[in-house]
Amino acid sequence: MGLLDLLEMLGSEVEDTEEETFLLFSQTLPSQDLGFMDSRAGTIELTVAGRDLTIHQSPTLLSSNRKEGTTGAVLWRVSPLFAEWISSLGNCLFAQSVLRKESLVLELGCGVSGIVALALASQVNRYIATDQDYVLRLLKQNIEENTVKLKFPKSAKKNRNDTAKSAVHKDSIENIQVIALDWEHNSIESLPSLLGDSDTVDAVIACDCIYNEALISPFVRACSEICRLRIRSGQQKPTVCLVAQQLRSPDIFDAWAKAFYKVFKFWRVPDELLIDGLRIQTGFVVHLGILRNSIP
């Protein structure tokens, strides 16, 4: 088991970005809006990975004129779907030990919800959720409030006692770290000091971070800089980069694919390895990238 086995499961590498764009956008895709769960609600209740969550968001901030961006103020549809998949029993990354209990995962542009962190943190050693300063207050609130809940729907919670709740809170919240990181305007030079002397990142996660062309270059640069930390550390196992996105504009997707291809070898995760909600006909796609020349 290992990375090479995972790549074999993924199938053919993307070698022609224009062909990848055509294959994806020639599908009959559902008619969708921008991709928000509910941009008008102050709170959203949902169940992810068998766990009831209450997510606070800010429609007011979303509709504000903040020039640095406001899209992280609300929950996007792809995030709970990705969280459900990556934390699911038998997920291909865990099955091939690319992700393990000892792993360190970093998410770029996590937004206010913290949903992927909440779903995945219990299965890894450390989870770092990053985004711009303006989302951090609600992000921390969502993580703190939802980590006191058990990983079962409400119907299964009735007979659980407070001791069990405290144990889950302690185990879940201590390995989630929230960090301000604006990858659009800042480099990640300070990240090694935040990771610690011996830590490098096993996986970079990004859910719906690419929705206009201006974001593509800084996004790819941030992904590559984080992945290069492992090379500099001398470790042979490369960092994997997981990018989940909604299929909106073929032009923006193609621009991202071309930029990503220059730095990363990458594969589309096939439908048979995904949950139903992330398969191509739903209008979402997940790609896995590895820095070129880093595969042993």
Q: Which bin fits 228, alpha (ψ -120 to 50), beta or left (φ > 0)?
A: alpha
User: How far is the C-alpha of 143 from the C-alpha of 178, rounded, in Å?
Assistant: 9
pLDDT classification of 217: cutoffs 50, 70, 90: very high
Percent of the chain's residues with pLDDT above 90: 63
- In this prediction, residue 234 carries a pLDDT of 78
DSSP 155: G
CB-count exposure of residue 183 (10 Å: 0-12, 13-18, 19+): buried
Q: How many CB atoms lie within 10 A of CB 64?
A: 12
Q: Is the pLDDT of residue 167 over 70?
A: no
Among candidate residues 95, 125, 89, 120, the one with its CA nearest the CA of residue 107: 120
Give the largest CA-CA distance in the chain.
Answer: 55
User: How far is the C-alpha of 171 from the C-alpha of 74, rounded, in Å?
Assistant: 27
Q: What's the rounded mean pLDDT across residues 205-221?
A: 93
pLDDT averaged over every residue in the chain: 86
Q: What's the rounded mean pLDDT across residues 213-231?
A: 93
Q: What's the rounded mean pLDDT across residues 12-20?
A: 98
Q: Is the pLDDT of residue 200 over 90?
A: no
User: How far is the C-alpha of 43 from the C-alpha of 55, rounded, in Å?
Assistant: 5
- In this prediction, residue 33 carries a pLDDT of 67
- In this prediction, residue 160 carries a pLDDT of 42
Q: Is the pLDDT of residue 64 over 80?
A: no
Taking the model in full, what pTM does it have? Answer: 0.88
pLDDT in tens, 111-129: 999 999 999 999 999 999 9
The C-alpha angle 161, 166, 167, rounded to 5 degrees, equals 100
Among candidate residues 128, 295, 120, 287, the one with its CA nearest the CA of residue 208: 287
Q: Is the pLDDT of residue 161 over 60?
A: no
